[in-house]
Structure 1
């Protein structure tokens, strides 16, 4: 029997959450067959097994967070010693403790027994009534909830879990059940005669929830992005330069390139990426990373680009972008964007960038002071392209105008380098023919 352990995930990652098992006990698996879907702080990945045989055990439940080196599953009668094709490598000598998110029973205490009021003597002419006995205490009610987060949300919202019917397996109360119960409650009203302070203090959590306030845990990819952006703001002395650019000629070039119905379509992002790569060749200080007390520069452009997904902002990296043609860049952007939105990017595809571009113009905005993708040293932002009045040959005419913004690390270069790079890219946008000299 062979035990398959959670592989070394690389990039300092030490644990992963089980999202979905792709096999069951008794299934026959082959080498490199995906067996489990895991979520790390970087991405959701499918992990392949390096053995062939029959699955005898699955160790871990959906939602359970397991450390690197923990046994994921066991395979009996392995037909091969393994492919070695599992993420970075698999297994470590020791495994740390697991953190479980199993459904647990939450005990909701029943209301305390109401003591009987003391007997009140009756007037002399009327016999005194007997004492009223206290009602018997009801037994504690046990409800099943999916996680401590659900219990906390219910508690802070003043919601009685004992009154809910769970929609999960075996009556499990889920986050969705609690959210629906909160939204279905009528808004709270202040009773006459109560002061504002008296009404607000005890009912604050209830009022917040009734108003549609949601509590979303920051974990997984969202936490990794938050940590990186926060670190960027703390450590990088950031400066920003920007310029308005006439992109009419660039759009005309794109229209000409896309006039061939049988050729792949070229995006504006791919055109600007190609010009950016030319600019980085002239100003290599911006194609770098800060690692400790060193500036690490190299000839290869590992080009990151911002991609908005349901799981938050991700920055996939086009490896060796300087070797890609215009069509290849466009295809790489499309493929990585689709995989990012499907949660199928690997850790390798989300790390190692040397420069990032961000097309925030797709959101209908003109400019942005973008945050540098730590530990890189610069990021180029592209605003929306719209008709604006522009002076051409002493005449004011409508042109397609956009704004380019460069945020850069002032430890690595000064305004002369940053301005020179931005002006070079802007000149190429305004006259793409100039770029031919540098291709």
Structure 2
């Protein structure tokens, strides 16, 4: 019998964890190579995981709803044949992706002789060689061993993501003073952001010191009268019944983090203008009548926006914070056009790669294709990342306008409101025209209001006289 263990693979874009949505097989089932075995939800999308082995499922290393870490056991399969003498989850002499990120603990030589020692997992000490069937229960050195070696070893703070360390460093937070809320005290980005939002409380408040001796038993609290405490199932702050309460995860967690980061780091400003799109609607109608189909209104406006970015490239850019605190402004030669798409899993931003190379019909087709795979939860990481400018059509929700939050780390987002008929002055006379509100939220660090207004005016003028604009593209 030969048992092979498949580790959760690197899902791209530096993602280190994924939530197990469901298993598509069970222990004892037969599987073949490339057979889908599970669905996991990353911070970017819903992903099907294929099996790399053929055989019988021996162990499923996780349950639905559990967070699974990259480079840790995902599934074990009995492939038959003779078991290798030195089976190991990773190649000898090479650190896994997660082990590299956890590097930092100094392991004393004495620990190598511990009878429970197995493969050294950097950042965790050593553990028993027996494989564990629990995702979150990595064996660690016992308290006796830890006490004996406390003067010769130092346990690194439990942080798996280098971006978390960088975030703490940039905000003058001692990472050792952060109380981790992840499994086994793992420090998450949210933990650091919580300290930042609270004004960076000191270490004593963040990490309580271990007492030198066991504290005396506390006196039992006096029983409260019914009026003094919150009712069962009620919120303590408001006293209202709680309809639901859950920790954000998956895409919803990613959206929350991205919006918070955008608001915290980008000094944004917004400009807007009402646009007469009567001629644009008529032009699209003529195209559809003559050709049987026509690009969407959003595709036509996106074509104008891409052309506008070539004239005002500062808005097609990004600002990054360097390690020394300086700001780097990067302007792109080409446009990856993101667009907001509402799905059952939340708001996602697919992006059309090299949008500057596509005409309106091609943009319309890509919008439809990417929106479809996003709503089905089948968009890949590359489909949902890498955009340089975003357009948001909130008119589909029947609203006129919105000061949209910039899709971090981009520099601007263009918003389209609904198209409604309004009285409009044309050549001194009041006429009924189709009007759309156009808004632009932009990073004030990359440009001033004149540049933003120039871009918005260019797009608005093209929407007002689309035939003339398309002839010059």
Cα shift at 1:99: 3.7
Q: Is structure 2 residue 359 aligned with structure 1 residue 325?
A: yes
Provide the rounded CA distance (Å) in 1 between the counterparts of 2:469 and 2:439: 20
The alignment partner of 1:259 has SS state of helix
CA distance in 2, matches of 1:215, 1:412: 40
Task: Say if 2:225 is the partner of 1:203.
Answer: no
| Cα shift readout 1:337-356 (whole Å, capped 9, x = no counterpart) | 22222222222211111000
Residue pair 1:304, 1:316 contacting (<8 A) in 2 also: yes
Partner of 1:228: 258
Task: Classify 1:300/1:66 alpha carbon distance in 2 versus 1 (closer, same or farther; 3 Å).
Answer: same
**2:316: which partner in 1?**
287
Q: CA deviation at 1:93?
A: 6.9
CA shift, 1:53, in A, is 4.5
Question: Is the contact between residue 53 and residue 79 of structure 2 (CA under 8 Å) also seen in structure 1?
Answer: no
TM-score by length of 2: 0.65
Pick the aligned partner of 2:405 from 360, 371, 374: 371
Q: Cα RMSD over matched residues?
A: 2.7
Question: Are 1:222 and 1:311, in contact at CA under 8 Å, matched by a contact in 2?
Answer: yes
How much does 1:22 deviate?
A: 2.0
2:458: which partner in 1? 424
Note if 1:213 corresponds to 2:243.
yes
- Find the aligned partners of 2:472 and 2:329 in 1 and give their Cα distance: 26
Change (3 A) 1:325 1:71: same
What secondary structure is seen at the aligned counterpart in 2 of 1:8?
Answer: coil
For normalisation by structure 1, the TM-score amounts to 0.69
Q: Secondary structure at the match of 2:414?
A: strand
Structure 1 residue 209, shift from structure 2 partner: 9.1
Instruction: Give the SS at the match of 1:412.
Output: coil
- 1:309 counterpart = 2:339: no
Residues 17, 40 of structure 1: 8 Å contact kept: yes
* Aligned-partner Cα distance in 1 for 2:410–2:73: 36
Superposed displacement of residue 30, structure 1: 4.1
The answer for the alignment partner of 1:41 in structure 2 is: 43
CA distance in structure 1 between the partners assigned to 2:267 and 2:424 by the alignment: 34
Which has more radius of gyration? 1
Which runs of 5 or more structure 1 residues have no equivalent in the other structure?
Answer: 80-89, 101-196
Aligned to 2:470: 436
Please list, as runs of the form range in 1=range in 2, the aligned pairs for 1:44-193 lying within 5 A after superposition: 44-77=46-79, 92=97, 94=99, 98-99=135-136
CA distance in 2, matches of 1:357, 1:384: 14
Compared CA separation, residues 231 and 395, structure 1 to 2 (3 A) = same
- Unaligned residue ranges in structure 2 (runs of 5+): 82-94, 100-120, 125-133, 138-224, 322-326
Distance 1:344 1:361 in 2: 25
Bigger CA drift: 371-380 or 57-66?
57-66
State the 1:284 CA deviation: 1.2
CA change 1:209–1:348 in 2 (3 A) is: farther
Partners of 2:270 and 2:392 lie apart in 1 by 14
Deviations 1:295-343 (Å, cap 9, x if unpaired)?
2222221111111122221111111112223222112212222222222
Whole-Å separation in 2 of the counterparts to 1:237 and 1:92: 35
Structure 1 residue 57: Cα displacement:
3.1
CA distance in 2, matches of 1:93, 1:283: 41
* Number of matched pairs: 332
The CA distance in 2 between the partners of 1:404 and 1:307, in whole Å, is 18
